[in-house]
A and B are shown apart, each in its own frame.
Chain A
């Protein structure tokens, strides 16, 4: 018996990286998956954009576990498209129990080089996109009699990190969304929590080539990126295990918690 046996989970940003890992981990423990990803070119980011092939690979890996998956290209900023996928998934699988608001973008630059375009991309994806994800799925969770919403924030959602102004702002905003939704949805037995990764070994996490020149110019700030545990980077599975715990009934009375999976980064 899996730890989320018979549940249905919506995962945004599911084409690769943490999102794919969440989909697979939840499927391993018995969940069916509604997978959403932009799977298209994202301007302004340094790392390669996710592709349709990436999303297809997530489908392949979930189906290899004998779980069902409905995967659709959709931009979390596009409410109509997102709502259509969620509704289609619920129609297909019958209910929705778990929501993982994982889709996000990140760019590295010092404060002077944040353009309005970078600001808008980051806030609209990481904050408005998460708001859309929660708002458009909450009614389905209410109909299911309760549920678990897990939002991906960051160590940068708890403390400032250098050269990430819009990202830090958006990830702090995710904590605000989590707290606000947790209060309003508690009466429906819906729990809302955040996870706070430190660096994760994914296409986004591997983009650190912008950092060295900035850290060379501002050497004091490099220490803020250090982990307290003796590791450089976490793996997607570490984040997925936290998501799984929060998604499962093992955490049935955990709500409005910021679960750090940060190797102690925020303790520095």
Chain B
């Protein structure tokens, strides 16, 4: 049976691990070839929260996609550097022939300070990656999609923090709201080309980004070394469904739906995968 995205090529940022790797693997399972990029190095300014992705992580994504007998072109690239990002995508298109699906997934999560205490450096870091990087990703891909003339699907990773406020997470919340603005604008601009643009809005996802002691302390500021088990109880109170967090596969299944022709007339949608976080 043909896969749900058989014969398509997907461009995925932040593909070394976490949700990005899961998207790459899930789309490959359903027949897509992959153009993967990741900064694949530690970011000064982020180390106090969680560790950065590595080249070994990116190599593991390559291994898992190739194990599915799909092709993958993976490069180290920083979404903040448009020329570098464009070169990575163009190389992928040169090797794989086209690009049909864009998953702008690369992002960072910084948190903990009152809004008035966030440093300029941290504000710029978060917004440059999460918002400007998403714009760069679309900007690099759109000329390919228009020139191909076969439509396409662009999926931007926002967050529940792209739909409602989150105390002490100002830079991230602002950056993820900005993603919705980019999505809505692109949906209007690209509809005449049958290019669809949608966003996904995860609640907490079980990846390195949140399964770390620094994030647990955001929810339990009084504990010096909160455990994952303790954190699970507190996280569960934020969702309406009785779970602490979702798994990367849950976001990937939403991305797959939006990437496939099953959603050929879905555009401008904020697709929440949030276990009811935003209704509480």
Write the residues of chain A forming the contact surface with B, with a CB cutoff of 8 angstroms: 179, 182-183, 186-187, 189, 191, 198, 227-231, 234, 238, 241-242, 244-245, 250-257, 259-264, 266-267
B188 adjacent to chain A (CB < 8 Å): yes
Given contacts A191-B241, A228-B187, A245-B257, contact A256 B194 (CB under 8 A): no
| Binary A-proximity of B251-268 (CB < 8 A = 1, otherwise 0) | 001101100001111111
Cβ contacts under 8 Å, B187 to chain A: 228, 264, 267
Instruction: Give the distance in Å from the alpha carbon of A234 to the alpha carbon of B265 in the complex.
Output: 7
Are B271 and A230 touching (Cβ within 8 A)? Answer: no
- Nearest first, the 6 A-B pairs at minimum CB distance are A250-B253, A186-B240, A241-B262, A267-B268, A228-B191, A253-B275
Does residue B272 face the partner (Cβ distance < 8 Å to A)?
Answer: yes
Provide the residues of chain B in CB contact with A183, threshold 8 Å. 240, 276, 279
Known: A253-B275, A254-B274. 10 other contacts (CB 8 A): A187-B240, A198-B265, A229-B265, A230-B191, A245-B257, A250-B256, A252-B250, A255-B240, A263-B265, A264-B188
B contact residues around A244 at 8 Å (CB):
262
Interface size class of B (residues with CB under 8 A): 20 to 34
Nearest Cβ on chain A to B280's Cβ, whole angstroms: 8
- Tell me how far the C-beta of B236 lies from the nearest C-beta in chain A, rounded to whole angstroms: 11
A202 and B241 alpha carbons, distance in the complex (Å)? 35
| A residues less than 8 Å from B203 (CB atoms) | 253
Across the interface, which residues of A come within 8 angstroms of B188, CB to CB? 228, 264, 267
Partner of B266, one of A230, A252, A253, A261: A261
Closest approach, in angstroms, between the C-beta of A205 and any C-beta of chain B? 13
B contact set with A: CB distance below 8 Å:
184, 187-188, 191-192, 194, 196, 203, 240-243, 246, 250, 253-254, 256-257, 262-269, 271-276, 278-279
Residues in A with CB closer than 8 Å to B184 are 267
CB-based contact B263/A261 at 8 Å = yes
Q: A230–B195 Cα gap in the complex (Å)?
A: 10
Give Cα distance in the complex from A49 to B264, angstroms: 29
Interface of A is mostly: mixed
* CB-contact partner of B257 in A229, A231, A238, A250, under 8 A: A250
Q: Give the residue of A189, A230, A242, A250 whose beta carbon is less than 8 angstroms from that of B263.
A: A242
A187, A253, A256: which contacts B278 (Cβ < 8 A)? A256
Given contacts A259-B266, A264-B187, A264-B268, contact A229 B279 (CB under 8 A): no
Pair B191/A229 contact, Cβ less than 8 Å: yes
Say yes or no: A262 contacts B265, CB within 8 Å. yes
Chain A's nearest CB lies how many Å from the CB of B14? 21
> Does B267 contact A254, Cβ atoms closer than 8 Å?
no
- List 6 A-B pairs, Cβ < 8 Å: A254-B272, A255-B275, A255-B276, A256-B278, A257-B272, A259-B269
Residues of B within 8 A of A231 (CB): 265
**Residues in B whose Cβ lies below 8 Å from that of A198:** 265
CB-nearest residue of chain A to B202: A253
Q: Are A259 and B271 in contact (CB under 8 A)?
A: yes
Give every chain B residue within 8 A of A260 (Cβ-Cβ).
266, 268-269
Q: Are the C-beta atoms of A254 and B254 separated by less than 8 Å?
A: yes
- Tell whether, in the assembled complex, residue B267 and residue A229 are in contact, meaning their CB atoms are under 8 Å apart: yes
Query: Among B265, B274, B278, which residue has the most Cβ atoms of chain A within 10 A?
Result: B265
Inter-chain CA distance A257–B275, complex, in Å, is 10
A228 CB contacts on chain B under 8 angstroms: 187-188, 191, 267-268
Q: Determine whether the beta carbon of B267 is less than 8 Å from that of A186.
A: no
Residue among A183, A254, A256, A259 facing the most chain B CB atoms (10 A cut-off): A254
Residue on B with the closest CB to A25?
B262
**Contacting pair B268 A182 (CB below 8 A):** no
Bound-state Cα–Cα, A253 to B206, Å: 13
Closest to A254 in B: B273
Assess the B279–A251 pair: CB atoms within 8 A: no
Contact A253 B242 (CB under 8 A): no
Counting chain B CB atoms within 10 Å of each CB, the highest count among A228, A245, A253 belongs to A253
